[in-house]
Chains A and B, each alone.
Chain A
Amino acid sequence: MRVGIPRGLLYQYYYPFWKTFFEELKVEIIVSSPTTKEIVNKGIEFSVPEICVPMKVYTGHVEQIIDKVDYVFIPRMVSISDKEYFCPKFMGLPDMIKYTVPGALNKILSPKIKSDSDSIANPKFYGELKSRLGISTWDLHRALKKADKAWNNFRALSKKGYILTDALDIFEGKKVPSKEPTFKDGEVTIGILGYVYDIYDPFISMDITDKLKELNVNVLTFEMLEDQAIKDSIKFMHKKLFWTFSNKLLGAGYHFYQNPKVDGIIQVTAFNCGPDSMIGKMLELESNHFEKPFMTVRIDEHTGESHLQTRVEAFIDMIRRKKMAGGVSRESNLSPYGLNTSI
């Protein structure tokens, strides 16, 4: 029995859970390769043009492994927080893949995740796997427990400050934990706002975290923050967004604004992302109020790498100059705030 795991969307967030889970069940897993041009092109071929790039990329990943596996694992992410949901595209993802990727029709394992917290280990979500994978209730419980533990360890790495890609490497045993989780000597600290599938996909964001490191910049992301801190920073909002990860980003955004160590914020977002356009606008408006530079980088399948590089460099340069001139707030007549151009 072979189960395929596409390296897209929530892979970066839940892979340690999924991997441990299937290994415990003695199910062989096949993970698609890191995103390549070919994967993207396949994704484009099988998607509607207006859909966001992460969805296209994911579609390409499924296509790459569909013929090599008995099942593809595409959990239906409905909710991981009380009264909040996933973006409609996530909730309809298994249906979309099922009917668009050739050969996927009967191969999709999509347990319905309706949790009230980030933990996705409740056995009641996974009932359908028992018959399809031929496993007992007891096995299921045991594997979920183990998976949850592995995942919590992995999340703890993020919260210590490891960049997600490093945390995954440590989880896989490819890297040993270092004394200092991340690079912490940079002259500038940037909060990056974006979904894990945008920030950590080498194709989508073109390794933006590495680029920043090369520029001697410290990086902070939402998954490094404590869940409570994120929640607290948007407590003041009367009505929150419906989407959990979008709320996390919004919370992280406010946190970055309030955190004196953070010098500026870069939002990385996909063209046509409905939820992000709302977050982006709200945070852009706050940029003046907090006197911190905010920049949005919008990405689609045609975005060139040099363009991204130039924009990021210019942004960092600007911040560095401000800092040398003695702090951002003193130069308010040279307003760099709320830069919101797309590339």
Chain B
Amino acid sequence: MKVTFPHMGSTLVYRKLVEMLGHEAITPPKPSQRTIDLGVKYSPEFACFPMKVIMGSYVEALEKGAEVILTSGGHGPCRAGFYGEMHKRILNNLGYEVDVWVFDSIKRDYKNFMNIVKKLKGDNSWLRLWTILKLLYQVTKDVDGFEMQLQTKRAYETKKGDCTRAWDKIQHIYNSVQDEKGLKEARQQCQNLIDEIPVMIIPEDQKIRIGIVGEIYVVMESAANMKMEETLGSLGCEVRRSHYISEWIEHNMIPKAFSKSHEEEILKKGEKYIEIKIGGHAKETMGNIVDFHEQGFDGIIHLMPFGCLPELVSQSIMPKLMDDLDIPVLTIALDEQTGTSNNLTRIEAFLDLIRNKKRNRLSKVS
């Protein structure tokens, strides 16, 4: 079976899962202008931006011969819940004989989840499946850890692009991990790679730390957010995101009894501002900002697809939260018409503001 999946940041886990179970993985290319154009062309105009980009990715993967699309369902009750269905219909209309398998959270729809697992599992033994899942979970944990190191280092790299190159290599190295032994070697190799990157030494009080929060797709996929992490890195900021794949797995795939996920803590922190889950990631957005603030971050970039229903609620409450926590937040709405240059100016101004604020605070103390 030729299986494809959405491109959301990294495709490593999906690809490995598919390949290790003996299927052929058709990895969609990193979304480009062509992807977005295709997506816009074939999606209804009202669809949310993430849905359009993903649509484009699917078309590109189908051009490469994919037969099955493996994806995860929406988060809470929002438009995303229909994406699987809508994508399938549109693609079938375009003449592609494609099946769409939607992984909804195991906690929400156990039967459907197990159905897909069985289809994917094929002739593999349950033990083999378990070993693969365990390994992949380790892989995501490792890779997320390395990504964070790079998100810090990128701010200080002496040669521009080193960290991004290392990141590509790391994904490549992990792509060929087949077992525990390989995992250990990869871990060592990647750590060395990172340690070798030369960096400038910046005094602690001049470091800027930015948290990126918001709707999951535009936070995770750099092609949809004007390469926000790299941009901030090149402007000298350390970066963390609100979403990492390993955390998503912990929250959605591992039964509650075994773990109190990071995401639950985040939700708790968001409760003061948005009491209940309202769909999408609005409540998480609030919780993540509180969390970043507690960790001492200097500012927040809040990314949302244009017109995103739940994020409009978080955007509404943002001024109050900024006031309460005294943390600067810049909200950026993204869609296919987003102009990079205009937003770059906004980001630079935002960083100036943060630097000034920091300087003032320091001079007050001394």
Contact = CB atoms under 8 A, between A and B. Distances in A.
A20 B86 CA distance: 44
A58 B307 CA distance: 19
A58 to B, nearest CB: 12
Nearest to A90: B278
A109 B280 CA distance: 25
B145 interface: no
Given A48-B316, A50-B312, A88-B309, A95 B275 contact: yes
B289 to A, nearest CB: 13
B317 A99 contact: yes
Contact of A50 (B78, B307, B310): B307
B22 interface: no
Interface residues of B, number: 30
Nearest to A281: B44
Given A50-B307, A239-B82, A239-B85, A88 B316 contact: no
Contacts of A47: 316
A48 B46 contact: no
B52 to A, nearest CB: 13
Interface in A76-104: 76, 78, 84-85, 87-89, 91-92, 94-96, 99-100
A193 to B, nearest CB: 16
Contacts of B279: 85, 88, 91, 242
Contacts of A92: 274, 278, 282, 310, 313, 317
A112 B276 contact: yes
Interface in B41-66: 44, 46, 48
Contacts of B44: 278, 281
B273 A95 contact: yes
A100 B317 contact: yes
B9 interface: no
Contacts of B320: 99-100
Nearest to B306: A50
B132 interface: no
B46 A96 contact: no
B225 interface: no
B46 A277 contact: yes
B316 A91 contact: no
Contacts of B315: 48, 50
Contacts of A229: none
A29 B81 CA distance: 40
Interface string A234-262: 00001101110000000000000000000
Contacts of B316: 47-48, 51, 96, 99-100
Given A85-B77, A88-B310, A50 B276 contact: no
Given A238-B85, A239-B85, 16 more contacts: A50-B307, A50-B312, A84-B77, A88-B282, A89-B313, A92-B282, A92-B313, A96-B313, A99-B321, A239-B81, A242-B79, A272-B307, A274-B79, A275-B79, A278-B44, A281-B46
7 nearest CB pairs, A to B: A277-B46, A92-B313, A99-B320, A91-B278, A242-B77, A88-B310, A88-B309
Interface of B: 44, 46, 48, 77-79, 81-82, 85, 273-276, 278-280, 282, 306-307, 309-310, 312-313, 315-317, 319-321, 333
Interface of A: 47-48, 50-51, 76, 78, 84-85, 87-89, 91-92, 94-96, 99-100, 112, 238-239, 241-243, 272, 274-275, 277-278, 280-281
